[in-house]
Amino acid sequence: MHLDIIGRGPPLVLIHGWAMHGGVFAPLLAELSERFECHVLDLPGHGLSEERDGLALDATVDRLLNVLPPALWLGWSLGGLFALEAALRAPDRVRGLIALAASPRFVVANDWPHAVAPSVFEQFAADLAQDYGATIDRFLALEVHGDVGARQEIRWLRQRLGERPPSDPRILVDGLALLADTDLRAELPRLAVPSLWLGGQRDRLVPWQALDAAARMAPAAEFRRIDRAGHAPFLSHASDVAEAIDWWTGANTQVMLLAQRAR
């Protein structure tokens, strides 16, 4: 599994979202690397990480826990599912959780309106086999929807994705299945580490209301909305995301004690 370590300070793991790789976090790393030792990985079958046994939730979390140090964990979008599951399973390893545009459930339900229809992920899975490039482009457009600099951000994301091998289509289908089928809401009350839930005001994929609701279910949780941001706030509002993380770690003595103990 490919892992970059950047910066100095308490360790902070960053896990990217669907079809991406760790390089997309560059704007946020510029903000955080002076205060955190950032461990930035490529998920299996993404970027420079090899694919072994698909992208199942339990098996992938096992791999992550084997290669990463005790740290605060930040998961963006799909990466948030892995970070949340790891925090639930191994609070001695995941010392604090930052869910960035990530939800415990990504599809709608009768009691969960702040999500997308299952058909969204089903259509992406069907389209991958027909036109891989166009499907990824359409997903990028959803990620930056609502941002003032959306066109520039799409170009930037395309350039970053082109710097590493494309994601394995089979892995991408696994990831879509995880987004469609996973529901960790019932597990939130037993989350044993502090958590910060950050949502973009204009997010079309994971409405900020979902993160607000998740924070209300978990103990020792905080929610913060990034105004005028879409699904990738670390691109359009990197300084705001970094400021929210600084606020959370600075205001929460338990978080900082756990982070310092992880070094």
Nearest CA-CA partner of 21 in 38, 45, 39:
45
Please pick, among 42, 147, 174, 203, the residue that the annotation labels catalytic: 203
Known catalytic residue at 53: no
Known catalytic residue at 239: no
Known catalytic residue at 33: no
Nearest CA-CA partner of 102 in 75, 82, 73:
75
> What is the number of alpha carbons within 13 Å of residue 52 lying toward its C-beta?
9
Please pick, among 21, 39, 42, 77, the residue that the annotation labels catalytic: 77
Please pick, among 21, 46, 231, 237, the residue that the annotation labels catalytic: 231
Q: Are strands 221-226 and 37-41 parallel, antiparallel or unpaired?
A: unpaired
Count of Cβ atoms closer than 10 Å to residue 155 Cβ: 12
Residue 32 sits at the vertex; the CA angle it makes with 27 and 36, to the nearest 5 degrees, is: 145
**Four-CA torsion 68, 70, 75, 81, nearest 10 degrees:** 90
Residues serving a catalytic function are: 77, 203, 231
